[in-house]
Amino acid sequence: MSELYWKPAHELAAMIRNRDIKASELMEATIRRIEQTNPKLNAFVALRADDALADARALDARIARREDVGPLAGLPLGVKDLEDAAGLVTTFGCKPFKNNLAKSDSIQVERLKAAGAIVIGKTNAPEWGYTAHTKNLLFGVTRNPWNLERTPGGSSGGSSAAISGGVVPIVTGSDGGGSVRIPACFTGCFGLKTSYGRIPHNMALGMQQWNDTSVHGPITRTVRDAAIFMDAVVGYHPHDQDSLPHPGISYLATLDQLPKKLRIAFHPDFGQLVQRDVAREIQKAAAVFKDLGHDVTTIDDPVPDTGRAWMQVGATQGYASQYEYFEKYHDDFGRAYIAGTEGATRVTWKHYGAAYRRRHEFNQWCQRVFERFDLLLCPVLPIEAFPAKGPMPTEINGQPLKDALGAVVFTYPFNLSGHPGASVRAGLTDAGLPCGLQIVAERHRDDLVLQASHAYEQARPWNNKWPNI
């Protein structure tokens, strides 16, 4: 069964539908794989192995009756521990929520299950998705399959470790500042930050969210897998007043329809420090689009600094949703998370206004870019994966960073602007670790991001090289 571990999700689902393999056989192999790898990776923090196997056997029976079992037929699904899967605890990586049993599925999980996926368990995440590496006081540190001493990123680190480690074929992720793209970059996967509202939200702790920076998105082995995932989960849901109508297309059906002769901007650094071997691989990756016949122009337009604005906008909602728990269980929260989130109490309307002015300034920058170009290329991250326990680096190429956010400076701006963006594997650093090229398009053009990512993947396939753990 070992040849199944790194197969793309779409191939496995086709094998199940065609009865080349039973869903129960794949589930049994997946359970063994989790048992084999989890002591090293710590990708999964909760399992429903017996129930998942029973679900897989029931799906086998449906296939035997020639029933339609969906495009994700029988695929074992890992659910990031920031969203609900019925019958499993949603801890948010946080001790006060260690007994927070979910009674129902999130909208995303519900739709994935309707498409045939079977929840196998929950994947690890940092406390409330707060950091770019995955560790918490409940479950400890998650590690990168490419190098167990390094992080798989965060906050969807358990999910990315499970995909790149050949543990499961499909996972959920979410991205409020890079939490899909960062782990996808560090582990050599494909990761898509969707347009805001494209995949409906559930409201955390029963509070209507006002912060429009966090989205759901897939982390997969291939772009085709992500397109199938998207087809299963997009579309309006009345629970989420900000959810977008269905786009009216199939992302899978349009995957090969990338327009010819696109105008593409390549910004190599946003005026920030980039690790030398990362910069080298990003440059080579961007050049692929020129080889594909597109017009690629290197730009150096000054990019507004949105780090402080992003932190202030995000922290306020986190504190608003959790302040009662801070008061009751204060010492059970991680110290770094408390310090960052309680900092929201010092954010005044004056600060909030300044943050939104800076946000508008960056939006104007994006507007000018997309008036001239169809796509924007840039690094996903300026660094390779740092130590699994952290902290993030404070210098690059021997030069000190202006602030801590310099290590993730290319991801969070597009959470503020709402543009869809993807991480594709650009290459490997001198240490043999993946780095990523970011592909960004105008708002709501998730289809164009997927098409461009797929064309790049065909030119420079990465699915034939994964780490051996």
Catalytic residue among 155, 160, 195, 214: 155
156 carries an active-site annotation: no
Contact criterion met (CB below 8 Å) for 411 and 177: yes
Catalytic residue among 106, 160, 179, 417: 179
80 carries an active-site annotation: yes
Q: Tell me 107's DSSP state.
A: H
Contact criterion met (CB below 8 Å) for 233 and 108: yes
Backbone angles phi, psi at 12, to 5 degrees: -65, -45
Count of CB atoms situated within 10 Å of the CB of 101: 10
- The first and second tokens of residue 193, run together, are 């930050």
Helix axes 23-41, 9-17, angle to 10 degrees: 150
Distance CA 17, CA 158 (A): 28
* Residue 308: Cβ-neighbour burial (10 angstroms; 0-12, 13-18, 19+): middle
Distance CA 410, CA 262 (A): 22
Q: What is the DSSP string of 43-92?
A: -EEEE-HHHHHHHHHHHHHHHHTT----TTTT-EEEEETTS--TTSB--T
Catalytic residue among 7, 22, 24, 80: 80
243 carries an active-site annotation: no
Distance CA 187, CA 134 (A): 13
Distance CA 116, CA 123 (A): 19
Helix (H) or strand (E) holding 136: strand 135-136
Catalytic positions, written as ranges: 80, 155, 179
